[in-house]
Amino acid sequence: MKKFCIAGPVDPEIHYCLPIRLDTNKMKDLIDGRLYFVLHAPRQSGKTTAMMTLVDMLKSEDKGEKKYNAVYVNVEAAQAARGHYREGVEWVVAVLMAAIRQTFGPHEPALQYFAERQSLPEGMIRSELQDFLTFWAERSDKPIFLCIDEIDSLIGDTLIAVLRQLRAGYAMRPKHFPQSICLVGVRDVRDYRIWSDENQSSIVGGSAFNIKAESLVIAPFSLEEVKALYLQHTLATNQQITEEAIEYAYEQTQGQPWLVNALAYEACFRDVTDRSQAISKQVMQRARDQLIVRCDTHIDTLVARLHEPRVCRVIDAIISGRKGTQDIPDDDLQYTIDLGLLAQRDHTFLIANPIYKEILPRAIVSRTLSNTITQQLSSYQNPDGSLNMEALLEAFRQFFRENSAIWLDKFDYKESGPHLLMMAFLQRVINGGGSICREYALGTGRVDLLVIFRKQRIVIELKIGHHPKYIQEGLQQTAKYMDTSNATTGHLVIFDPSNTSWDKKMYRKTEEVQGKKITIWGC
C-alpha cells in the first residue's frame, strides 16, 4: 500500500505523489543553452524529488538516445569537513564518483581519475573538484549535466572552494567541463554569507559563483494539488477525505508539501485506520494538534533556526506585531522566507502558515519557563464549567509582575517577550480544555488572541506602549476583532515598557466601543 511521504524524497513506487512541479521545458532550455542555474526552496518542499525526476527524464529522452550524461549528487556528507576545504573538496569528489558509479556502472572512464592522477607530475593538481570534472568531461561521450543537491549545507571555506572551482571551469564547457550545472539548496546563492577562516572575512556567494544564469523556485502546493494528492489515497483505499477536511488541511499548511503529507499520514495511517470511516475536518484537527505536540524532524529543524540572530530579528518583530520594517535588513527578511518560516502576502510579512504560527511561540518559550507556570485550569473555571477569564488575566498580571524582569532578560526575543510570556501562560492553563488562535504579522502594531473554550469566544488584544494613543488604538482594534471573530467578550492588555512603578502600571478598567464592552488590563 502506498502512503504519504513524511521523510526523504518521494518514491512513486511507495508514495502518493504529484507530477514534477517545475517547468521542465524551461530547465531543458537552460541545459541546452549551456547555462548554470540554481533551484532553491525551503526544506522538504520537493526540490530533491524534482531534480531526481529531471535527471531520470534526461536519461531516457529521445526514445533512448539521450543527449546528456546526467548525474544527481547530494554533497551533504561533506558538511562534516566544515571549513577544512581540502578535506571537504575531496569528500565532494568522493560522493560525486560514487554517484557516477551508481549511475553508469563500474566501467565508467571517469572512475579512473585517481589511478591516472598518480602519474601526473607533483604540483599539477591545483584544485581537486575542477580537475576531476575536467577529467570526466573529456572522457564523456556526451555533454554532462550535473545536479548538486544540498550545496548550502557545506560550511565556510569548503563552500567557497567548491563554488570557485565550479566557476573556474565554466569557460571550458562543454568539452572540458560539465555543459550545465544546477545548484540545489534552501537559499539562493546570492544570499550566501560565507565566513572564510583562511581570509578572516565574509564572502558573498554571488561573488564566488557569479556565473548563475537564473534562480528557480518551487512553489507550495495549491489547493487543487492538495486535492489531487489526497484523492490518490481515496482511489487506492476507498477511504473518503471530506472536502471540508481538505480545505482545512490547505488552510493550516498553506500548501507546505511536508505538512500536507504529514497531516494526511497522521489522519489516515495513525488516527483513522478503518477505511470505511471518512477523514473529517475533526480528524484533521486532531492530526494538526499531534504534529504540533510531537515537533517531528521537519519542524524541529526549523525550530533550531529560531535563535540565529538573523532569524531572531525578524520573528521577534513579527510576534510583537511591530509597525514597519525599517530596521530589519532586506537580506534577513529574504533569508527567513527562504527557510520557509516567513511569507509575504498582500505586502505583509507573516509566519508562513497557521501550524508554524502555533509552534514558534511554544518553541521560543523554553520548557523550563513552561514548567514554572504551575496554574491549573480548574482554578479558573466557574461553577458551570465556563472559563473565568477575569481571574485568569488577574493571575497573569501578578505572574508578569513577579517574573518578567527575570525571564525577559533570558529571552533572545526581547521585543516580543511580554507577548510570549502571555501566550505561554494561557497555553499552560487552557491546554486540553480549549484552544488559542493567534494572529500576528509585521506592521500591524498588535497581537490578536482568540480563546475558544466550549461556547465562549474571548478576544485578547496585546499591545506594548504607555501612551494614551495606544489604548485608544487598541480599543478600536479589539472591537473590530471581536466583531469579525464573533467573540462573546473582549480584553485589551497593555504592556508598559517604561520605568513607571508597578503600582501605577497595574490598573483595570472597562470601556464601551462600538457597542462592545472591553476590559483594559495595565501591566
Give the CATH number for residue 137: 3.40.50.300
pLDDT reported for residue 369: 62
pLDDT digits 0-9 by tens, 433-449: 888 888 888 777 778 89
The number of folded domains in the chain is 3
Specify whether 250 is located in the same domain as 334.
no
Residue-number span of the structural domain to which 385 is assigned = 306-522
Specify whether 412 is located in the same domain as 494.
yes
Specify whether 254 is located in the same domain as 200.
no
Give me 510's grid cell: 472597562
**In this structure, is residue 416 part of a structural domain?**
yes
CA-nearest of 354, 254, 253, 260 to 268 is 260
Specify whether 389 is located in the same domain as 454.
yes
Specify whether 341 is located in the same domain as 386.
yes
Specify whether 420 is located in the same domain as 363.
yes
The pLDDT profile of the chain, 523 residues, written as one tens digit per residue, is: 899 999 888 899 999 999 888 888 899 999 999 999 999 988 888 899 899 989 988 887 655 567 899 999 999 988 888 778 888 898 999 999 999 999 999 999 999 988 776 554 454 445 789 999 999 999 999 999 999 999 988 888 888 889 989 999 999 999 999 999 999 988 877 766 655 556 555 555 555 677 778 888 888 999 999 999 999 999 999 999 999 999 999 999 999 999 999 999 999 999 999 999 999 999 999 999 999 888 776 777 788 888 888 899 999 888 888 777 777 888 888 889 988 999 988 878 889 999 999 888 888 876 556 566 777 888 899 999 999 999 999 999 998 998 888 877 777 888 888 998 898 888 888 876 888 888 888 777 778 899 999 889 999 999 888 778 888 988 999 999 999 899 989 999 999 888 889 998 899 999 999 889 999 999 8
What is the model's pTM? 0.84
pLDDT reported for residue 9: 87
pLDDT reported for residue 521: 94
Specify whether 509 is located in the same domain as 391.
yes
pLDDT reported for residue 281: 96
DSSP 278: -
**In this structure, is residue 300 part of a structural domain?**
no
- In this structure, how many other beta carbons lie within 10 angstroms of the beta carbon of residue 414? 12
CA-nearest of 517, 481, 514, 4 to 237 is 4
Backbone region of residue 145 per phi and psi (left: phi > 0; alpha: psi in -120 to 50; beta: other values): beta
Specify whether 285 is located in the same domain as 405.
no
Order across the sheet with 447-453: list the strands: 435-439, 447-453, 456-464, 489-495, 516-522, 508-513
User: Of the candidates 172, 195, 217, which is a domain's last residue?
Assistant: 217
User: Of the candidates 294, 318, 334, which is a domain's last residue?
Assistant: 294
Residues 6+ positions from 184 with CB-CB distance below 8 Å: 38, 39, 40, 47, 48, 51, 147, 148, 149, 150, 151
Specify whether 212 is located in the same domain as 229.
no
Specify whether 199 is located in the same domain as 346.
no
pLDDT reported for residue 147: 96
Specify whether 354 is located in the same domain as 275.
no
**In this structure, is residue 301 part of a structural domain?**
no
User: Of the candidates 240, 267, 294, which is a domain's last residue?
Assistant: 294
Burial class (CB in 10 A: 0-12, 13-18, 19+), 456: middle
Contact, 352 vs 220, CB < 8 A? no
pLDDT reported for residue 279: 97
